[in-house]
């Protein structure tokens, strides 16, 4: 059946009738929505919406993450023929997933960007769909946290990252991918006592009370133990999962703005994400994929897999 479908399916992003099920169109052709899901702004009946936020004007080093959503979508064309491995269920067949496209914003009016993104996210959540976001630099997570906290109250966060992003910055009009989590805590969006940061390997003395499971601890204890500890920390609290691709070692994800050696392997990240199954995930993102710094496309492949795992995590408790 799959072979026959592959002969006739094309541009499933526009031509598919159903929001559920696999797609067998040729990996190397067709329109590249995320996992060949249908492009639509109509969220009636949609369980999970995927959106892209091509914004990278808050970085401290290399730009290029504005091209992240497009590259992640292209890389995801490798995946929609089969159920995601290791989960024991097929999120693509059991849940209605739509790609709502990218956020529209005025690239020359940077101060207006956070409110524009927050309104975009709230509009999706208000229609009853969950949201997984493709970045973009990590500053986009703050408006996303605001939108989710408005619906669910103060959140637990599981953050995969080389950096804590809790550097002090009391100018709340500034947009910075290194201070957004400080602002999220100060604004009451995130409860650090019930949150965990995984893969950290840069120094920041003030962690604001976050539980830190740094990269060395991941290597020492193993991803299974790290996931178990993270689940215990967040409990049954609503959880937002944010995955900065620089949590991975540059050997696995060189295409990012602030790479740091000694990071997680792709295996460690995959096991950790899958073993988080059972958390009350309400939303998530994958950020900091910068395609210009990775001619192999490996970093975008990592991003596509992470985003798929986030869909699976969300669906696990709602099957």
221-233 pLDDT tens trace: 999 999 999 999 9
Show the tokens assigned to 209: 């009370």
Tell me the CATH class for 2-316. Answer: alpha beta
Instruction: For the chain, 319 residues long, give each residue's pLDDT as a single digit of tens.
Output: 576 677 889 999 999 989 999 999 999 999 999 999 999 999 999 999 999 999 999 999 999 999 999 999 999 999 999 999 999 999 999 999 999 999 999 999 999 999 999 999 999 999 999 999 999 999 999 999 999 999 999 999 999 999 999 989 988 889 989 899 999 999 999 999 999 999 999 998 889 999 999 999 999 999 999 999 999 999 999 999 999 999 999 999 999 999 999 999 999 999 999 999 999 999 999 999 999 999 999 999 999 999 999 999 999 999 9
**Quick one: which of 179, 172, 227, 167 has its CA closest to 199?**
227
Flag whether 47 is marked binding: no
Report residue 38: phi and psi, to 5°. Answer: -70, 130
pLDDT per residue over 246-257, tens digit each? 999 999 999 999
Establish whether the linkage from the previous residue to 62 is cis, with ω within 30° of 0.
no
Which residues have a Cβ under 8 Å from the Cβ of 128 and sit 6 or more positions away? 43, 46
User: How is residue 58 annotated by DSSP?
Assistant: T
The pTM of the full predicted model, rounded to 2 decimals, is: 0.97
d(CA 129, CA 45): 8
Q: Where are the domains of the chain?
A: 2-316
Flag whether 163 is marked binding: yes
Flag whether 126 is marked binding: no
d(CA 282, CA 277): 13
Which residues have a Cβ under 8 Å from the Cβ of 308 and sit 6 or more positions away? 35, 76, 79, 84, 91
Flag whether 246 is marked binding: yes
């Amino acid at each position: 059946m799959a072979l026959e479908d592959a002969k006739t399916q094309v541009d499933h992003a526009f031509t598919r009738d159903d929001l559920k099920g696999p797609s067998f169109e040729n990996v190397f052709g067709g329109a590249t929505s995320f996992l060949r899901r249908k492009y639509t702004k109509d969220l009636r009946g949609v369980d999970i919406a995927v959106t892209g936020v091509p914004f990278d004007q808050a970085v401290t080093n290399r730009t290029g993450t504005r091209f992240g959503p497009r590259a992640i979508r292209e890389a995801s064309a490798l995946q929609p023929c089969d159920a995601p491995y290791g989960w024991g269920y097929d999120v693509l067949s059991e849940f209605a997933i739509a790609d709502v496209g990218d956020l529209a914003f005025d690239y020359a009016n940077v101060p207006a960007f956070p409110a524009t993104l927050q309104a975009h996210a709230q509009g999706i959540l208000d229609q009853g769909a969950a949201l997984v976001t493709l970045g973009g630099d990590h500053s986009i997570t703050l408006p996303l946290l605001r939108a989710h906290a408005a619906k669910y109250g103060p959140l637990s966060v599981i953050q995969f990252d080389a950096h804590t992003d809790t550097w002090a910055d009391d100018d709340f009009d500034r947009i910075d991918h290194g201070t957004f989590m400080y602002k999220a805590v100060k604004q009451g969006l995130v409860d650090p006592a019930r949150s965990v940061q995984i893969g950290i390997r840069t120094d920041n003395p003030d962690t604001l009370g976050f539980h830190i499971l740094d990269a060395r601890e991941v290597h020492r204890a193993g991803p299974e133990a790290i996931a178990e500890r993270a689940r215990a920390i967040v409990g049954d609290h609503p959880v937002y999962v944010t995955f900065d691709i620089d949590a991975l070692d540059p050997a696995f994800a060189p295409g990012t703005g602030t790479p740091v050696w000694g990071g997680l392997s792709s295996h460690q990240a995959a096991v950790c994400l899958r073993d988080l199954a059972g958390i009350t995930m309400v939303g998530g993102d994958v950020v900091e994929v910068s395609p210009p710094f990775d001619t192999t496309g490996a970093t975008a492949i990592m991003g596509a897999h992470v985003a798929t795992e986030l869909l699976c995590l969300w669906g696990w408790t709602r099957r």
